[in-house]
Amino acid sequence: MPVADYVFFAAGLLGLVLTTMAVARVAGVGLGWAPLVSLVRASAQLTVVALLLRGILTIPWTVVAFLALMLLTASWTAAGRLHELWRGRRAAVAGVLAGASIALAMILALRLVDPEPRYLVAVAGIVIGNAMSAATLSGRNFLRALRHRHDEVEAWLSLGATPSQAHLEIGRESVRESLLPNLDQTRSTGLVTLPGAFVGALFGGASPAVAAQFQLVVLAGIALAMVVTGVVVTRLLGRSPYVLAADEA
């Protein structure tokens, strides 16, 4: 692609993100420079990944290292979002690793996709990314619920309930809330949205039937990863009577 086309493309992206920032500022959302910083970071990371994938897709054993890098990055990102909670970082890491690993292992064990590097990297990237989102959403929902229902938890504890029992219902609700956006998108797939995996497979030359099969595998894998991640995160967070990390000190 000519240099002029790259410049035009970059200018278009900049226009989109500046509009996003302007709307957020006028509405008082308070995002600041976050949209621009996120896009710049994503651009740099995607450029590096695109270069790496050229080698990874031709050397199968490097897929393992790349998957490990994705898991590490996702775990680290989710951990940073839950630092306010008691051992929130540990819970986030455990949740992402458990959710993504179990979902990917089942997809491969059931032979739902060919174990070729290109398919494995594509599915893993989507599943791991959603496991990261599930850890963040379920953990933040847990934190929000704890702040509103602190007296209820204290009452359960005073009656002799264990921390796990006192936080159980809050954890369940937190997982349910974190899954609702994904479930809504899954229900509306094909009618309201055309997911990226489906469109990407079509652009890659796959038939509509094969693209649909690939997308269904991705949707099922995402659901499993998110449920496992959410349950692991909230159950680990609920094992302590401390609401916030600061309470432990």
Residue spans of the domains in the chain: they are 1-56, 59-248
pLDDT of residue 203: 59
Handedness of CA 90, 91, 97, 98 (dihedral sign): positive
pLDDT of residue 1: 63
**Per-position pLDDT tens, the chain of length 249:** 677 888 888 899 899 999 999 998 898 888 888 889 988 888 887 787 777 666 666 666 677 888 888 899 899 988 888 887 778 889 999 999 999 999 999 999 998 888 777 788 889 989 999 999 999 999 999 988 888 888 888 888 888 888 888 888 898 999 999 888 888 877 777 666 666 666 666 656 667 777 778 888 888 999 999 999 999 999 998 887 655 554 544
Measured CA to CA, the distance from residue 71 to residue 100 in angstroms comes to: 8
pLDDT of residue 129: 92
Q: Are 88 and 249 in contact (CB under 8 A)?
A: no
Side-chain-side CA neighbours of residue 135 (13 Å) = 36
pLDDT of residue 242: 58
pLDDT of residue 248: 47
